[in-house]
Structure 1
Amino acid sequence: MREPLAVDLFSGAGGLSLGLKAAGFKVAAGVEMDRLASQTYALNNPDAITINDDIRNVSAWKLKKDIGRRISLLAACPPCQGFTSLTSKFRRDDPRNDLPSEVIRFARILKPKAIMFENVPRFLTSARGKSRFDLVKRELEALDYKVTYCILQAADFGSSQFRRRLVVFAASSEIEPPKPTHAQTASGDIAAWRTVKDKIGALGPAEPFQPGKLSAPRPLAEWHVVRRLSDLNQRRLEAAVPDGARWDLPDELRPACHVGSSTGFRNVYGRMSWERPSPTITGGCTSPSKGRFGHPEVARTISVREAGLLQDFPDDYIVDAEGQIDRACEMIGNAFPARLAEAAARQVMATL
């Protein structure tokens, strides 16, 4: 029996495809607009068709012909930035917010047996996202799919990271949400959450990033690098309490806009705790001002390698960022954690 085929839309650097393959799918194609993410995807998925283009320019009919047989799963992770809480204060509508409709266009032509769609929870719960969620749901139901959805926590499925994601399933019969395999406290068949220490505690010292040194595609293990911090940011991380809030810092170490305030984003200039999963890894994962990205023990941020491992990328995963630390962080931070992707994809596999 041939492996069931999957297509990965908005594939990024390939986190979702890692999970699809672990669940038993053969990934036939990945579509990604960003050049470096697409190059990274191709290096790690040499047997897949890799399309580097705006998805709105991609012919679903041509892709169907190139694949040559019916696919079992159409998987998609449309950009979520327009729906996140970090951007909710801006009233302007992000033009990427309409990209989920491209999943419907491909579904009409590829006619997959099942569809798996991932986004941030606010795609379901915010006014801006809910209207688009309802449209996608109606369109899938019009194609005779039964639609189910759930909000899942990556840490509950073996990732060493807190990351909540909305997962939408569509198939000829209802697909049940996966059952958690991990929890804060172990009990019976449920293991304890994997912690930051479990994932990166044994790694050695990180090196300061040197522009140009990683200009060629290199495995993630070689990206054990961090940004050089200003003296002030160094002092902030030295003073930060693991798993504490930014208002734990004394006023003299706070940015001017934070002095005297104990409201707003609590994680900036924070440090992770060894004993818990990490906070959500984002594209700002090596910048202390972007979140709780301080190392639990050393006065530095986590390294690019550590961020990748917390996002479920293996050490031998090839990263092609052309020596740009910002781009490496973006590719890692934008990925769908592979362990969560695998758990969701196994639910699809069970219905085929």
Structure 2
Amino acid sequence: MDDIKKQQDTVSGATARRADARWAVVDLFCGIGGLSHGLQRAGFEVTAGVDADETCRYAFEANNGATFVGRPLEEVSGEEIAALFPDDAGRVLVGCAPCTPFSPYSAGPGRPRDKWSLVDLFMDRIAAVQPDIVSMENVPRLKSFKKGKVFRRFLERLEGAGYKTSAEVVNSADYGVPQDRRRLVVLASRLGPIPVPAPTVVMHATVRETIEHMPALAAGEVDTADSLHRVSRLTPLNLRRIRAAKPGRPWSEWGDQELLSPCHRRETGASYKNVYGRMEWDKPSPTLTTGCFSFGRGRFGHPAQDRAISLREAALLQSFPQGYEFTAPEDPVWFARVGRHIGNAVPVALAAAIGNTIRTHIREHAA
């Protein structure tokens, strides 16, 4: 009995010391660092990020001051990940396994649907590293993918490893992100129960207050003061289309049938309403995708100017700070690459809310 009490005191003492120690984060599938940047805002030390996309290295390291490990997670062992944490720090392991396989946009015939195994791989690394706290962000459809088996297995493995878990689909707009972006947030802790972050704002941030200050541009132009504030070109037909588009209204209301895409003239194309649209000034933006710079790939038209939003405006709508660097000064800015980086990122303000919840949890359970 005394031995058991002694063991309990030892565990309790270690936990108490950990509350006052450093708490470090390693970010798996880190991309350009949206999640890491938000966690830094919440006061965490981000020591490293792991991602297979080497093109993310500059943005991740330049903005977060952390090490970028540019290899697929399959090639990075649990031992290597554990070594990225300082010896004297509590461990927070976070990640957003690539969500394309769970997105409605990838549900078409012939699209790859097997990357759900990355969620299992993330869990394998959790089991090897045994962090104190885990966070995962993903698209809501993960909950129902393969009848929910992938997600249930993930939670069951966490709980079997001694974690208390919570999971909820949230709207990023409720956390200060000027965008309607629903995401599945999972939090897990060995310290005790941990909730999904409660909303942090009552009034949603809007497109107007986020990008109205940006210099006006025509389609195809670049701001000489900010190379990321650049706008994709429009064909003559798409220029006519955007002039016909009204903020928040679908293409089906255009009076000129000649403006309709051939696929939209077919009955089967009538359901694709969320393209060739303008944003509304006084609402959050629609969900940004990797094609957020293209008028024809979503409701990504500027509310007032006859163009799509710029890459910088897209980054601001993802709640990245104005000065966030996406490419090295000497490198060209490629729309497809930077658009992919921005569209795939975890919104910084949502990440900060997750970080603040973890910080509060540590204070309450590790003291």
What TM-score, normalized to structure 2? 0.86
- Counterpart contact for 1:207–1:225, Cα < 8 Å: no
- Runs of 4 or more above 6 Å deviation: none
- Counterpart contact for 1:251–1:260, Cα < 8 Å: no
- What displacement does 1:209 show? 5.0
Q: Counterpart in 2 of 1:144?
A: 162
What letter corresponds to residue 206 of structure 2 in structure 1? T
Equivalence map 1:1-352=2 (5 Å): 1-46=20-65, 48-69=66-87, 70-90=89-109, 93-127=112-146, 130-172=148-190, 173-182=192-201, 190=202, 192-206=203-217, 209=220, 221-249=226-254, 250-259=256-265, 261=267, 263-320=270-327, 322-323=331-332, 324-352=334-362
2:115 match: secondary structure: helix
2:339 match: secondary structure: helix
- Counterpart contact for 1:223–1:305, Cα < 8 Å: yes
- Counterpart contact for 1:232–1:253, Cα < 8 Å: yes
1:326 match: secondary structure: helix
CA offsets per residue over residues 99-123 of structure 1, 9 Å max, x none? 0112212212221111001100000
Whose helix proportion is higher, 1 or 2?
Answer: 2
Q: Within 1, Cα distance between the matches of 2:145 and 2:36?
A: 28
1:150 match: secondary structure: strand
Q: Within 1, Cα distance between the matches of 2:157 and 2:189?
A: 13
What letter corresponds to residue 249 of structure 2 in structure 1? G
1:149 match: secondary structure: strand
What letter corresponds to residue 310 of structure 1 in structure 2? L
Q: Label 1:12 to 1:318 Cα distance change in 2 as closer, same or farther (>3 A).
A: same
- The size of the alignment, in residue pairs, is 336
Instruction: List gaps (5 residues or longer) in structure 2.
Output: 1-19, 363-367
What letter corresponds to residue 325 of structure 1 in structure 2? F
Instruction: List gaps (5 residues or longer) in structure 1.
Output: 183-189
Identical amino acids, percent of aligned pairs: 35
Q: Within 1, Cα distance between the matches of 2:218 and 2:21?
A: 45
What TM-score, normalized to structure 1? 0.90
Q: Label 1:50 to 1:161 Cα distance change in 2 as closer, same or farther (>3 A).
A: same
Larger Rg: 2
- What displacement does 1:24 show? 1.4
Aligned alpha-carbon RMSD (Å) = 2.1
What letter corresponds to residue 86 of structure 1 in structure 2? Y
CA offsets per residue over residues 53-108 of structure 1, 9 Å max, x none? 11100122023224332543111111001011112233655232210112212212
- Counterpart contact for 2:218–2:306, Cα < 8 Å: no
Moved more, 316-325 or 115-124: 316-325
- What displacement does 1:2 show? 4.3
